[in-house]
């Protein structure tokens, strides 16, 4: 049962790109992101037994985390307009590389040899991915570099989110604020930021009659966000954080297989080789941080 829960969580999260591709058929990336986070935030608040009040300083930190989460979803979902599901999902999983850079700078320590190897592998892999081409082309062809850049921005933004939550979620006595309390705040702030951005960009929700788009949005909120991420946190009872982190490498594999089946997407050989290099780089980076915990 624990293995089924863990693999099911990764499958649910890996399917998010597929749901997003359907959602984007009826609305822009800012609107899709706002609706996804808005639905998730409302349901999370509804499941809270009580809302813990925090200091203004900590609430501001959670607001910043929510803003970083908003950038993550807007950039990553936007990338799916310009590149394949496989490449977008692969590049957005490079977060451990960026969080390690932050820790190296903050702690003023030299990077480990394994991390340097991981960075070299990652940059080489990204170069090969950008050189490759998906077939058939993305919904907006001719912007593969932009798509890769947005996916990488999404990866950096989710890294910033995790770092902000790591510090803001720590209580004065050393304990941690509950997961529901954390995600209720970050999902809520993120939904507000995305809703304001969508309104500014004149991106409205899809028509009510557009079942495919609404189905993709609701599936992202319920399946990928609530079920997938909740099950991943529940898996901490049975697996170490490093093991769970390594299983996230299944996400681009799941996404690529589903995209090939549903959309007929294929990836050129240089991009496949680059993808293997990026996965190896992330695995090396994750192995170097066995104590990092999920929120």
The torsion angles phi and psi of 167, rounded to 5 degrees, stand at -80, -45
Q: What angle do CA 103, 286, 187 make, to 5 degrees?
A: 70
**Three-class SS of residue 167?**
helix
CA–CA gap between residue 130 and residue 144 (Å, rounded): 7
pTM, rounded to two decimals: 0.84
List the pLDDT tens digit at each of the 295 positions of the chain: 777 877 888 888 889 999 999 999 999 999 999 999 999 999 988 888 788 788 888 889 899 999 999 999 999 999 999 988 888 988 888 887 787 778 778 877 787 788 788 888 887 887 787 666 555 556 776 787 899 899 999 999 988 888 888 777 776 665 677 777 888 889 999 999 999 999 999 999 999 999 999 999 999 999 988 888 777 766 756 775 556 666 777 788 888 888 888 888 877 788 788 888 888 887 787 666 544 444 4
Beta strands (DSSP E) in the chain are 134-135, 266-267
Tell me the residue length of the chain.
295
Give the pLDDT confidence score for residue 128 in this predicted structure.
80
In sign, the C-alpha dihedral spanning 236, 251, 157, 39 is negative
Give the pLDDT confidence score for residue 241 in this predicted structure.
55
Distances (CA, A) of 130 to 82, 85, 113, 152, 286: 12, 14, 26, 12, 24
Distances (CA, A) of 152 to 40, 184, 206, 212, 263: 24, 26, 27, 27, 23
> Do you find a cis peptide bond into 136, omega within 30 degrees of 0?
yes
Residue 93 · residue 249 · CB < 8 Å: yes
Give the pLDDT confidence score for residue 285 in this predicted structure.
72
Residue 174 tokens read as 């050393």
Beta bridge partners of 266: 135
């Amino acid at each position: 049962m624990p293995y089924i829960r863990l693999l099911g969580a990764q499958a649910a999260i890996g399917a998010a790109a597929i749901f997003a591709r359907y959602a984007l058929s009826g609305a822009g990336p800012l609107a899709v992101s706002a609706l996804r986070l808005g639905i998730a935030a409302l349901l999370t608040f509804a499941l809270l037994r009580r809302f813990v009040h925090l200091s203004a300083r900590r609430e501001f930190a959670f607001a910043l985390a929510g803003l970083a989460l908003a950038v993550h979803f807007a950039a990553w979902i936007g990338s799916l307009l310009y590149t394949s599901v496989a490449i977008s999902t692969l590049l957005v999983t490079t977060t451990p590389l960026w969080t390690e850079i932050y820790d190296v700078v903050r702690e003023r320590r030299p990077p480990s040899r394994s991390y340097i190897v991981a960075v070299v592998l990652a940059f080489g892999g990204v170069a090969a991915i950008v050189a490759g081409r998906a077939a058939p082309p993305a919904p907006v062809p001719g912007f593969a570099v932009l798509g890769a850049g947005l996916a990488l921005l999404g990866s950096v933004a989710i890294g910033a989110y995790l770092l902000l939550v790591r510090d803001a979620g720590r209580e004065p006595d050393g304990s941690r604020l509950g997961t529901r309390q954390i995600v209720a705040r970050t999902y809520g702030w993120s939904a507000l930021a995305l809703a304001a951005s969508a309104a500014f960009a004149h991106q409205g929700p899809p028509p009510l009659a557009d079942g495919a788009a609404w189905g993709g949005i609701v599936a992202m909120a319920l399946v990928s966000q609530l079920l997938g991420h909740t099950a991943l946190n529940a898996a901490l009872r049975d697996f170490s954080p490093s093991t769970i982190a390594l299983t996230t490498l299944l996400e681009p594999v799941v996404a690529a297989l589903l995209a090939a089946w549903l959309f007929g997407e294929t990836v050129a050989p240089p991009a496949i080789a680059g993808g293997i290099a990026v996965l190896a780089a992330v695995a090396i980076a994750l192995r170097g941080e066995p104590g990092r915990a999920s929120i």
